[in-house]
Structures are given as structure tokens and as C-alpha cells.
Amino acid sequence: MAMMRLRREDPRVVGSFRLHRRLGAGGMGVVYLGSDRRGQRVALKVIRPDLAEDQEFRSRFAREVSAARRIRGGCTARLVAADLEADRPWFATQYVPGPSLHDKIAEEGPLSAADVAAIGAALAEGLVAVHEAGVVHRDLKPSNILLSPKGPRIIDFGIAWATGASTLTHVGTAVGSPGFLAPEQVRGAAVTPATDVFALGATLAYAAMGDSPFGHGSSEVMLYRVVHEEPHLRGVPDALAPLVRACLAKEPEERPSTLQLAMRLKEIAAREAQGLPEGRASAAVRGERSPAASASHAPSSHAP
């Protein structure tokens, strides 16, 4: 998503940050490109005026900030500042230059097996850190992954929740994005790290095919397919298909762990990049990422 000029109704200063451009807008609010007096650039999210008085939305916003504060490592955009008591609550994270995975696929088409595996390994390692903080993202998808020059970054913890929490905010209403939601989210069962593993599997399939493994349709149709139908993985390279299919298992306990995923995806990335036969990749893996895991310095698409 390209940066846009500020609108008349947009603030020019929030906290100690001067705002320069819009980065995006969504259900919770608007994300701006801002900077402090030292020139440090941030992505600053401000809650919508009509939601600022809604306690449910304030609580959801506070959860996002709390999640960002607990997570360690370079997998997410670092929290810089926040004010949850402001008339319009806001928080600022380190600005991540680079397109979203969604935008990269839309502009350039599906990625190679080596590139998908390299990005997937970095994301799986990132999820290890997220889950160690006691957080489940619940809405991992291509538009919530930014491809920075230093590797992919996971953003938008707006509906993140503690491990074991229910996925329903209202009776019968699942929170998340159809096509990337896990079956247990659709059913309203407790979320676990395996919930994010399912979403990562769907995201990797999207990166490899340029399309959702559950096709297209209304939210109801998509949610039905996620629960009752097998994913369509035609177009996913043979090197990745078995692992992606394991991530998309209907039952959470049948999915691999994030640590297992990270190790296996590193092996696949090394083998595919160097043309090594199966079984010899492990010796070549030293944590390096494929060049495609570092994307161009295109405008960031921080999704609110």
C-alpha cells in the first residue's frame, strides 16, 4: 500500500511525534508515518474517534500494546511509545520499510520454493518468540507480514490474545480473516500456538501459489471450507507441499510446532537454493536467509 497524504481531519502531531503521511486505515483506526525530534521514523496507530469511547475497543487496543511490549526478538516491529489514556489512544512502533507479503505477491507473482521456505523459516522463528511471550497472534496473513531488508516482520496484534483464550467476541462470531483462520477459531474453541501454525501454513501456500488454499467466496463459504474441506495445494512445490499440508491439519494437535517448522523450513530453503538432495541440507543450514526474504525498500503497508 502506497503512502498517502494526510487528510484535513488527520492530526499533525500526536504525543512527541510529527505525522507526515498515512500508511493505511482499517477497522480500529489509522496508521501514520511519523517521526520524533531525532528523526526516528515510526508507524503510529491512532484509534478512530467514534471508537475511542467504546470500552471494548479500548481493551482490544490495550491488548495489542501489551502484546507488543512482551515480545522479544526481531520478528516484530519494536514498540517505541504509547498513550492508552489519551482521548484517542495511540501507539508507535519502529517503522519497517518494505512491502507486505500480500503486495509483493500481487505485484510479482508467486515466490520460488527456496524463497517461500526462507521467509517461512524466519516467520516460524518469530512465532516462537511470540508464543514464548504467552501471545497468540490470531490473524497472521500475507498483509500482516512486512518484508523488510532485514527479513520479514509480523505486525498488527490488534486481535492477539493469551494462549488458551476463546476466539469469540460475541456468540457465533469468529474474529480473524477467512481463509487464514484455523478451524478451532471458526468453532469458537480455545486458541493455542497451533492456531498460528495453521495461519502460517495458509500464508505459505498463498506465497507459493499466489492464491488462498481455500479459494474465494463469502465469509460463510470460506469458513465452511476451512472446517470441512481439504485445502487445494496445487501449485505448491513438492518440496513444501507435505509440510504445508501438515500445518493445515484440521486438528491442532496434528500440526507441527513452530520450532519444528523453523528447522524443517531452513533445511528446505538451503536444499532448494543450493540444489542439494534431500537429507544433505542440514549441514548447509547455518541460519542464513534467502535473498528474497529481504525485500526492496518499497513503502511499508503497515495494516492497522
Rounded CA-CA distance 253/246 in Å is 10
Average pLDDT over residues 212-224: 93
Helix, strand, coil percentages, rounded to 5, for the chain: 40, 20, 45
C-alpha dist (Å) from residue 281 to 113, 246, 284: 14, 20, 5
What secondary structure letter does DSSP report for 146? E
* Ramachandran angles phi, psi of 239, nearest 5°: -65, -25
Q: What is the pLDDT of residue 5?
A: 93
User: DSSP letters along 13-66, please?
Assistant: EETTEEEEEEEEE-SSEEEEEEE-TT--EEEEEEE-GGGTT-HHHHHHHHHHHH
Rounded CA-CA distance 286/141 in Å is 27
Q: What is the pLDDT of residue 2?
A: 64
Q: Is the pLDDT of residue 4 over 80?
A: yes
Average pLDDT over residues 61-82: 81
Query: H or E stretch including 214?
Result: none
Q: Is the pLDDT of residue 288 over 70?
A: no
C-beta separation of 226 from 181 below 8 A: yes
Helix or strand or coil: residue 164?
coil
Is 139 marked active-site? yes
Rounded CA-CA distance 118/136 in Å is 22
Q: What is the pLDDT of residue 276?
A: 56
Q: What is the pLDDT of residue 287?
A: 37
Q: What is the pLDDT of residue 160?
A: 52
Q: Is the pLDDT of residue 62 over 60?
A: yes
Q: What is the pLDDT of residue 177?
A: 79
Q: What is the pLDDT of residue 200?
A: 98
31 DSSP β-pair partners: 24, 45
Average pLDDT over residues 127-150: 91
Q: Which residues have a Cβ under 8 Å from the Cβ of 206 and sit 6 or more positions away? A: 101, 102, 105, 142, 212, 213
Identify the residue with better confidence: 217 or 164: 217
Identify the residue with better confidence: 295 or 86: 86
Between 85-99, 130-144, 211-225, 272-286, the lowest mean confidence (pLDDT) is in: 272-286
The single residue of 103, 115, 139, 156 carrying the catalytic annotation is: 139
Q: Is the pLDDT of residue 164 over 50?
A: no
Average pLDDT over residues 159-181: 53
* Ramachandran angles phi, psi of 53, nearest 5°: -95, 0
Q: What is the pLDDT of residue 27?
A: 72
Domain 101-293 belongs to what topology?
A: Transferase(Phosphotransferase); domain 1 (1.10.510)
Instruction: From 41, 222, 31, select the one nearest 141 (Cα to Cα).
Output: 222
Determine how β-strand 151-154 pairs with β-strand 161-162: unpaired
C-beta separation of 273 from 293 below 8 A: no
Percentage of the residues of the chain whose pLDDT score is greater than 70: 83
Q: What is the pLDDT of residue 162?
A: 45
Q: What is the pLDDT of residue 69?
A: 82
Where are the chain's structural domains? Answer: 4-94, 101-293
Q: Model confidence over 14-32: pLDDT tens digits?
A: 999 999 999 988 777 899 9
The answer to whether domain 4-94 has CATH 3.30.450.40 is no
Q: Cell 505448491 appears where?
A: 236
Q: How confident is the model at residue 192 (pLDDT cuts 50, 70, 90)?
A: very high
Average pLDDT over residues 187-205: 95
